[in-house]
Copies of this chain bind each other. A is one copy, B any other.
């Protein structure tokens, strides 16, 4: 018989971005010790790579002013890579003094979002990256370059795929072969996602693509599955669905890690991540910061938690 699983990769890599994008979205600044505790707990879930902090200027992103302390404070795990967001040369200089495994560079795929977010065009942002990439190579750390609003810009709408080709080519020119495709504003739909991802993989098979979806319009998981059908195997997600871009009005959070792992577990796609531990961290975040997790399974429980027949009889007797 036909089995849906045959349209999907049997294994995906989930990259936890909660400590960077998520903590940044919590208005209060999380105490460094609490961050370290949460990151350590996340590293124990089986995730292979986490984006733990950002080297943005402390005035721009005060939530990550303690980037050095976080990096120095967390425990290291064999086989768990620690990634950091590097927004500019100054950030790279700070990161050089810390122990990191991967630097994540980012730019906006559209000029309008790029101007709003970084006050420069996409190409101007790219021009500043080669020095950072050279520093990373010297330091022996991996570099990934992502493009925000690649699957929909809140100012320009759907971008032509040629725009994405151009950016991938510019990244390749400076030696970046790991490229993030981000639906920052949650505008992608499964058709656009599948088509764009498939075209990119076909055209630049040497690139390792990382997909990043926001659930702004409820299409996050459907987009991930469409991207998987197009051949993508690396996805960002955020515990409790924390996250969002402050320059994209009404953008809600990332796909919650717990919902993504749960869906993959149910389908038999391997993630290597322990779902119960992620849900437990999501609940810890809820109680520590007084917000409601966006993880559906954190609220409703997992589909394998069967209810006792006794409960059914009670419900029945109440009729």
Give the interface of A toward B (CB within 8 A): 1-5, 7-8, 60, 112-113, 115-117, 119, 152, 154-157, 185-187, 189-195, 198-199, 215-219, 221-222, 225-226, 229-230, 246-247, 249-252, 256, 259, 262-263, 266-268, 295-297, 299-304, 306-309, 311-313, 315-316, 319
Contact = CB atoms under 8 A, between A and B. Distances in A.
Contact of A266 (B191, B198, B315): B191
B4 A296 contact: no
Contact of A155 (B112, B192, B267, B309): B309
Given A191-B267, A221-B222, A263-B190, A252 B316 contact: no
A316 B194 contact: no
Given A216-B300, A217-B300, A247-B315, 5 more contacts: A1-B199, A218-B259, A219-B263, A225-B225, A247-B312
Nearest to A186: B300
A189 B263 contact: yes
A276 to B, nearest CB: 15
Contact of A3 (B195, B215, B256, B297): B195
Contacts of A191: 3-5, 8, 266-268
Copies in the complex: 2
Closest 5 CB pairs of A and B: A116-B312, A218-B296, A4-B194, A189-B266, A191-B267
B189 A303 contact: yes
A217 B5 contact: no
Contact of A225 (B226, B249, B311, B312): B226
Nearest to A116: B312
Nearest to A295: B218
A272 to B, nearest CB: 18
A33 B211 CA distance: 48
Contact of A222 (B117, B222, B251, B312): B222
A281 to B, nearest CB: 17
Contact of A319 (B119, B296, B304): B119
A297 B218 CA distance: 8
Contact of A315 (B7, B116, B186, B193): B116
Nearest to A219: B263
B225 A155 contact: no
A250 B312 contact: no
Contacts of A263: 189-190, 217-219, 222
Nearest to A260: B218
